[in-house]
Amino acid sequence: MIENNNRKIVLITGASRGIGAATAKLLAEQGYSVCVNFLQDQNSADKIVSEIKSHQGNAIAVQADASKEEEVIALFKVIDDSLGSITHLVNNAGILLPQMPLLEMNEDRINKILTTNVTSYFLCCREAIKRMFNGGSIVNVSSVASRTGSPNEYIDYAASKGAIDSLTKGLSLEVASKSIRVNCVRPGFIDTDMHADGGEPNRIERIRQSIPLGRGGTVNEIAKSIAFLLSDDASYITGSFIDIAGGR
């Protein structure tokens, strides 16, 4: 295992696209050594790493299904050996499935959402905390759906994000005495291709008028809030939530 020598080492799950990719680039600019975790799209993950390295940053791309315990353990071993013990974690991996009301959902869909969006956060938090010997910072990416419930569209996704809100609050209290901070961002309607996963790529345009600020958010706006919560500028903030939703 490499000693981190007070370096900032961050794992970002689901970092090959969208919010995760933007956060990886921003944190690398701020001096973090970055592990870009991805599930399938190695091409995109490698491009992010190449871009970071082209700007004299330090990054690796590691494939792992963050919802599977043995793969998470292997992921952290690679980080230990390549970068050192992580000091920061961004739990971002998650999926969205096609819109439908609860009456049309089956067991496989519900369990896939919950396992991917919830179990992965628990497992990565556990392994990160084991390594945060001198304190650390964790940011969980939830969603304003945890407050709205996403009726008739993504009630399963909303429920999974509600679980992340509870994890954030409870874990922040468990590990405060270890000088580990746990916080959460709750994005609203952000311009990513995740909406296409849900079957409505132009969803933001449809609901834009219901957003007080009149537009969707950008991945860079989310990344900046994540970076703030990870940083020493937020050193007295734990168990807290930032809603980044244009007023919704």
**Closest to 188 measured CA to CA, from 145, 141, 231, 224:** 145
Is 226 a domain residue?
Answer: yes
pTM tops 0.75: yes
Instruction: Please check the confidence at residue 5 and state whether its pLDDT lies above 80.
Output: no
Name the least confident of 38-52, 55-69, 189-203. 189-203
Measured CA distances, 2 to 26, 63, 89, 177 (Å): 24, 20, 18, 25
**Closest to 170 measured CA to CA, from 182, 188, 157, 187:** 182
**Closest to 229 measured CA to CA, from 186, 187, 183:** 183
| Alpha-carbon span 12 to 117, nearest angstrom | 14
Catalytic residue ranges = 157
Is 15 a domain residue?
Answer: yes
Q: What pLDDT was estimated at residue 205? A: 74
197 band by pLDDT with thresholds 50, 70 and 90: low
DSSP 8-state secondary structure symbol assigned to residue 217: B
Q: Give the domain range for residue 51.
A: 9-243
Using DSSP's 3-state secondary structure scheme, residue 169 falls into helix
What is the total count of domains within the chain? 1
Is 1 a domain residue?
Answer: no
How large is the average pLDDT for residues 10-32?
A: 97
DSSP 8-state secondary structure symbol assigned to residue 142: -
Is 68 a domain residue?
Answer: yes
Is 2 a domain residue?
Answer: no
Dump pLDDT digits (tens) for 94-128.
999 999 999 999 999 999 999 999 999 999 999 99
| Alpha-carbon span 103 to 100, nearest angstrom | 8
How large is the average pLDDT for residues 192-204?
A: 59
How large is the average pLDDT for residues 34-60?
A: 97
195 band by pLDDT with thresholds 50, 70 and 90: very low
The DSSP bridge pattern shows strands 33-38 and 241-244 to be unpaired
- Find the CATH number of the domain harbouring 86: 3.40.50.720
Tokens of 22: 């933007």
